[in-house]
Amino acid sequence: MSETTASATTASTATAPVTASPADPGGAADPVVGRTVPGRVRLGRVALRVVQVLLAFFFAFASALPKLIAHASAVESFDEMGWGSAGMYAIGALELAGAIGLLIPVLQSAAAIGLSAMMVGAFVVQVAVFDGEYAATPLLVMVPLVLIAWSRRSHNADLVGLLRGKGRRDARA
C-alpha cells in the first residue's frame, strides 16, 4: 500500500464515528462528537432530561399558572409581601419563561441559571416575610437547577453565538 493511500485511509478512519467499543459494546455514538457514549453517561443524560421536563412542568403549571390566573392563594401571598398584582404577574411570567427555556436546548443552561436566581429570591422572601416555614423548598428546587445549568453549560456558547448572529458553534466549520 502506498504512503498516500495509507494516510487517506487513516484520515477517513479517524473522522468516522465509532458506534461501539470493546469497553462498552452496547454504547451509542454521540452525534455531536462522534465518540461512543458509555451506557452510564447516556443514562445520566436521559435522567437529567427527565428532571428538566419535570421541573418545566412544575414551574409552568404549579408555580407560574396560579400567579398568571390570579389564584386567590397567589394574590394573598403577594399582597402580604407588598408586591401586589404587578409583582405577581411579573414573577409568574418569568417562571413561565424559565419553564419554556428548560425545554429548548440552547436556552437550558440560561433558564436554569435564571430560575436558580429566582429560587434564591424565593428563599429570602420565605425567611424574611413568611418566617421561614417553607424556606427549604426553594433550596431543594435549586439543587437540580444548578445541576442542569452546569451540565448544559456548553449550550451557553451556542446561545452567545446566536445572539451575535454567528449561528451554531458547530456550524461555523
Q: What pLDDT score does 10 carry?
A: 44
Quickly state the pLDDT bin for 23 (edges 50, 70, 90): very low
What the block records as the C-alpha cell of 111 is: 433558564
Per the model's pLDDT, the better-predicted residue between 26 and 75 turns out to be: 75
Q: Write 105-109 long-range contacts (CB < 8 A, 24+).
A: 105/152, 105/155, 106/155, 106/158, 106/159, 106/162, 107/155, 107/159, 108/52, 108/148, 108/152, 108/155, 109/148, 109/149, 109/152, 109/153, 109/154, 109/155, 109/156, 109/159
DSSP for the chain reads --HHHHHHHHHHHHHSPP---SS-TT-EE-TTT-SEEPHHHHHHHHHHHHHHHHHHHIIIIIIIHHHHTT-HHHHHHHHHHT-HHHHHHHHHHHHHHHHHHHHSGGGHHHHHHHHHHHHHHHHHHHHHTSTTTTTHHHHHHHHHHHHHHHHTTTHHHHHHHHHTT---GGGG-
Domain range summary for the chain, segments of one domain joined by +: 30-167
Per the model's pLDDT, the better-predicted residue between 77 and 11 turns out to be: 77
pLDDT in tens, 55-74: 999 999 999 999 999 999 99
Percent above pLDDT 70 for the chain: 75
Quickly state the pLDDT bin for 29 (edges 50, 70, 90): low
Asked whether the predicted pLDDT for residue 2 surpasses 50, the reply is no
Query: What is the pTM (predicted TM-score) of this model?
Result: 0.74
pLDDT in tens, 91-146: 999 999 999 999 999 999 999 999 999 999 999 999 999 989 999 999 999 999 99
What the block records as the C-alpha cell of 16 is: 468516522
The pLDDT mean for the chain works out to 84
